[in-house]
Structure formats: structure tokens, C-alpha cells
A and B are shown apart, each in its own frame.
Chain A
């Protein structure tokens, strides 16, 4: 990977600096940009995560990334480009790091978006309180917003969901393999009948992911499903209580797989990967638009 970085410059000089980086390296004259990604950072830790994640996804999705971090000054920018691991591919990624007064940031971002391409906003950390003008302005620019209720909390995410059209929650994405494993338990006809008697679930896992799983079941089944949570750093076990019977999906030790079992089913192995943020995020960059089952699950989770 070859990376070149400028010093701190005015926002108005960014395009020219990027063009210079492009020309300087004998890059191809065509850039295949597929999206804009705006990453909001609230602290140095976020900044580190953002850089790590961008390094990993940049080579697969040509993009212009803007890392946005509030500071007490007129916004200034630093640009860098990299051309992936493989020069032949000619993928050219642009990274703009923007720092400055919070209120001035949305207009800086607007002026730097690559025209006509989708804009993804990845908001790390907590979400600002209701009525925050900066957040609203940022959402206005955005095609799809990515948050993490494991960091921001379900209520804040639900609040933003009302504003943003295509919202996705990384905590929800983390529950994906579990939802798939659970759904597969009920493909058989006799198991499907037991689903009608599902009254409650027990989850060992993070609070928000547990709430989203329960919200998902409530919204899909259109009725109340109780939730009993035992806190853990990642989801390790889900028991579904259907009348007198119960189904279980359980991680095997610290593995990325586990066992799914239930009445009339031979226990079977299921994949339960916990993917790194970069991988989760990359998957979300390939989708556009709202995800109905998530919105329904979120509404139920918040109502509970």
C-alpha cells in the first residue's frame, strides 16, 4: 500500500491537493469511486478505529472517505491517498481528515462530496441529544447512516431512526448469524407449529443485541415475546421457550460456531462468526436503503 499525505490545508484547497496526489503518482486518469464515506469521530480512540477500518475496506471499495472530528478552530483538512495493495488495479482512495468547529463541519463535508454518489455516514460513539442541528444537517446529506447501539444505546438510535431514511445499527448486524440460526430451527413443519407457542427467550449477550433479538421476534410474530437477559460481551446463547418445549442455539466455547437444537431436530453445527467492525461496515456499504425488519425490531425493542 502506498500512501501520501499533505499537511494541514484550507478546506477550499482540498480538491486541488487531491488532484495533485493523483497526478503525482502516475495514477490512471480515471478513478473508479463508488461512494462517499463520512466517519464521525468523537475522540482519539474513534480516530484510531476509523483509520484501521478504512485501511481494511479501502482496497475493496474505491471511495472518498472523510474523517470528521470536532476541534476549536476554523475547519482545516489534511488529505491523503492510497492506491491499494496492488498498483495494477489502479484503485485510488482518497482520505480527507477534517477538523474544526462542530457547526462548520457539515458545510465542509458538503463541499467535498464526490457528486452523485451515495453518502454513508458512520457515526461512532454516542449520538447527540434531540434537536441537534449538526446531526440533522449531516443526516440530510446522507443516503445511509450507520450507528452502533452497543455504543449509543437503543433509545438514541430509535430517535435517529425517525430522521434518517436508511439507518442501520451495527449491533443489529452482529445478531445476523443468530437470527439466521434461529429462523432455520423453524423450517420443519412440526417445529413451525411450536413457533406459534413461543412465549419468551433467554439470551446471554449484550443488552442491546438481546433487546433487538427479542424485538425482532415480536415484530415478525406480531405478538409479545418475553426477554430474560444475562449480560455477556457477545451473544453466546439464545434459548427459545415455546410452551413446554424449548429450542437452543449455543456457542461452543469461544468458537465461531455453535450448536442449534430443538424438539425433533438432531443437534447441528451452525456458524456464529463475530466479525470485526471493518467487515460489518464493508457489508453495510454494499447496501442502500432502509431495512424494514430492523426498523420493526428497533421499534419493538424500544417500546419494551
Chain B
């Protein structure tokens, strides 16, 4: 492992336009036959390879119980990629790609299997010239995370620390205590800097665009504070119901499913201070600070809902209780609206309202920054009566873009000022061929860039924000809302109380 020259010692690397990874790497997928591996991981690796972003010396090791050899795994991977990749398989390229795929059958419960895996990985490492970075991706139900990290540690696959990383999928615990317990177990084998907690939301191009929008432009940041912003609304709306995942959802509910991770992470991006540098620790420090300043969710400032029957996009859909595997007396919330307050210099007094739920009117994720009204309007009341405050909306999905609402004179003989929307759709300015979030994140894990991964302190703080409410919501009933609506009426009242209203996305 030590016979590698440092890349800066290779004069031919200077100035090469590699957007991708250059150092050799081996990527092991635990749970390689599972749903996530088929739908996301294998297609993402394939597309990275096709885009020329993988290191020239690279290999994949699939690991699962099913017995098969390399060839069978290659066929399996091909079928998965054919079914789920955003680009079709290029037959001219396939043989080269397939030769990088290997398979190792084994269970999670036996340390002998991990020692055997270590031999496979070492063998491949040697084959590709040695010194490979090693990424272990835990794509298994989270109940297996502890045994797998333990097995990796026992087989010394956790070393050397500079080259080895472990990627874990959410959930990162289901409350503060279990998140800490999980971290403790993981930290017995891996240093925190080796642990990459993946939240695919953070790999979305448009989520990353929030950084660019805020910190690459001089004109927005000065007004990005309580001096000019009245409040912020973050909406993560899904139009689907629980589908076939009721058993999982019954255990989880909307707060664990969306708020604790995606929503608070997006909020942190909007609220954080500018990092000194766009590198992992600076960015994650600032995000963690924003979360630390965020008060925990409060019962009296939150509304829970559960979807009833109704119509979504013209289609009649079931009441939550009628979904297969949902108990008749379930009080699992499928919707939340809440007010969050951030106690720091920038945001004190400017609330962040969040809402997310299933079976809402349409699928949309957006952040709306609502500005204060002008201190004085030098127009007659009639002239400006239809004028709304300025707002800036960052649309994350679908229709990624930014729109700015401002007042303009309507072409009428008497002075009349109306709100107009200026819409910028990045859609295709730069994103012709938008990579999947998993492509971005897998590549980062391979290159060892953890900027877009969640650090343990943020995970814990997010649970601290959510736990009290989850606890209080154990009892009592959520309010029903019609499928296809924007949630229960109480959500509107929550804002009306503060003299505000939700925008219609």
C-alpha cells in the first residue's frame, strides 16, 4: 500500500482536467443485491464510469448472501442498470465496465466472512497496482450497520484510516439516543472523518446551487437576514402516499422521515453563515452552528396531519387508514407544518416555517424567502393595493430555478403597481445532463470529499430539535386533510396567527 507516489509527484498530472477521481479505489457494496443497489448505486457507478469520472484504476466488490460468481453478478448489474440508469447501456463500453465488477458472497454475522472479504479486497488492490482507497458502502437495513462495522474492524478493513471510508445510509438512528449509540458503535471501528453519512438530498444539483446562489453573488447576501427578510417558508411536498412502505412509515412518521434529515439540512443551508472555504470542515461547521442555534420544535407551534381520501392530479386516492398494513387506529402523522426559530444575530425574530407531507397537491420542494415590505409606499392606497412584498423563491424540484417577485407599474392610465414574477429556470442553463444525486455523492466518497455528507454533530442536533415533538405526538390524533390539498386548515392558522400566509407553490 505504501508504494504509491503522491499525485503531486507525477508531473504529468499537472493541469489535467480531471473533474473526477484520479487515485485508485475499490468500492465495496454491502447489500449489493438489494433494492437501493439496483436502483441507485450500480446505475450511478455505471454513469460515473461512462462520464470518465472514475479513477483509471477502480473496482467494485458486491457483497450479499446470494451465492453467485463475478459473471452472474455482472449480468445482475447489467439488468439493474438497464432497468434504472438515466442513460442507456453502451454496448461498446460495457465489457470494459463489467471487468471492474466483482462479487463476494457472504453473511454479516460471521467474522470468517469478513476475513475472506479482506482477502478478496487485498487481492483486487494488488491487481490494480496497490494503494487503493477503499470505500465500504452499507446498503443494508440499518439494523445490520453495527455488525458490519464490527466485522470490518475485526478484519482490519478499517485501515489505513487515510484510505478507508465507510458510507452509511439513513436512518442515522431514530432518536438522539439511538443515533448516539450507532455513532458509538461505528466509532469503535472508524474515526468520524472516515464516516460518510449520505443524505441524497444534499447531492442534488439544485441543493448545491443554494451555496452558489448565496455565496457567489454579492447582491443577495447583504439582505439575507432579519433586517430585510420577514420570514422563510420551506416546503417539501410529496404527491405520493405511503405506497408499499406502510410498515416502515408506521415506525417512522413524517418528522423522522423528512424533517430530521432533508428538511433541516436544507434549512441549515439557507440559514448558515458563509464558510471560510468550500471544504468539508468549514462548510459543516457552519451548518452545525446554524442547527445549534435552532430551537427545538414546539408542540404549540406545530400542526400534524394525516391524509384522508381525495383526488391527486385527477386520480382518486385512499385514506391513510385504508392503505394496506396501516392499523385502523394509527395516529402516525403524514404531514407537519411548524415554526422554527433560530437564535442568532442574523435570524432572531425571523421565523422559518416548514411544511412537508404526503399526498399534497403536487410534488415540489422549494425555499421561499419573503422580504419585508418597503418602509413607506409613496403611492396612493389604490395604486399599491395589489402589491405583495418581494419574495425570492429557490425551487429545488421539479423545475429547478429561481424566481423573484417585485412590483412593476401596470400599463394603465392611473398609477397601479402590480407584482410580477421574474423567473429564471436553470433547468437547462447549465444542467443539460443533470447527474443523479447518487452520482455526485458516490464520486465524492471515492475522492474523499465529505462536504456534502452529514456529520455526527448535525445528526445529533437535528434529533434534539425533533425528539421533543415526536415524543409529544405519541398520543393524540393528527388532523385529517384531504389528499390533494395543501394540508390541514390548522396549518394556515399557524401562519395567520403571525399575520402571514403560505404561498401556493
Contacts and interface: CB of A to CB of B under 8 A. Distances in A.
Interface stretch (B114-122, B265-273, B424-432): B424-432
Contacts of A270: 56, 96
Contact of B14 (A32, A180, A220, A273): A220
B15 interface: yes
B141 interface: no
Contacts of A257: 92-93, 95-96
Interface in B1-47: 3-5, 7, 9-18, 22-24
A166 interface: no
A16 interface: no
A245 B128 CA distance: 19
B57 A268 contact: yes
A60 interface: yes
A45 interface: no
Contact of B432 (A60, A88, A179, A265): A60
A220 B428 contact: no
A90 B99 CA distance: 42
B472 interface: no
A117 B7 CA distance: 36
A184 B56 contact: yes
B433 interface: yes
A32 B428 CA distance: 9
A118 to B, nearest CB: 14
A188 B429 contact: no
Given A177-B52, A270-B56, A292-B15, A89 B5 contact: no
Given A32-B424, A271-B52, A271-B96, A188 B12 contact: no
Interface stretch (A69-77, A150-158, A189-197): A189-197
A189 B129 contact: no
Interface string B238-276: 000000000000000000000000000000000000000
A189 B422 CA distance: 56
A62 B426 CA distance: 10
Contact of B429 (A32, A179, A260, A269): A32
B9 A192 contact: yes
Interface in A169-221: 176-177, 179-184, 186-192, 195, 217, 220-221
A91 B399 CA distance: 12
B10 A32 contact: no
A291 B23 CA distance: 23
A187 B4 contact: yes
Nearest to B52: A271
A16 B9 CA distance: 57
A61 B12 contact: no
B93 A256 contact: yes
Contacts of A90: 423, 425, 427
A34 B427 CA distance: 13
Nearest to A30: B422
A188 to B, nearest CB: 6
B422 A195 contact: no
A266 interface: yes
B100 A265 contact: no
A32 B18 contact: no
Interface string A73-108: 000000000001010111100000000000000000
B151 to A, nearest CB: 28
A188 B17 contact: no
Contacts of A289: none
Interface in B410-440: 422-433
Nearest to A34: B429
A147 B480 CA distance: 64
B171 interface: no
A268 B56 contact: yes
Interface in B274-310: none
B430 A266 contact: no
B16 to A, nearest CB: 6
B127 interface: yes
Interface string B130-153: 110000000000000000000000
Given A59-B428, A89-B427, A186 B93 contact: no
B49 interface: yes
Contact of A60 (B7, B422, B425, B433): B433
23 contacts: A29-B422, A30-B422, A32-B424, A34-B429, A60-B428, A88-B399, A91-B428, A180-B52, A181-B56, A183-B16, A187-B5, A187-B10, A187-B57, A188-B3, A188-B130, A188-B131, A189-B3, A190-B3, A192-B9, A266-B129, A271-B52, A282-B432, A292-B15
Which 6 residue pairs are nearest across A and B when measured between Cβ atoms? Answer: A60-B432, A293-B15, A183-B12, A89-B427, A184-B56, A257-B96
Given A60-B432, A61-B432, 13 more contacts: A34-B430, A86-B428, A90-B427, A91-B427, A180-B18, A184-B56, A184-B57, A187-B5, A188-B131, A189-B4, A255-B93, A268-B57, A293-B14
Interface of A: 28-30, 32, 34, 59-62, 84, 86, 88-91, 176-177, 179-184, 186-192, 195, 217, 220-221, 255-257, 260, 264-266, 268-271, 273, 282, 286, 291-293
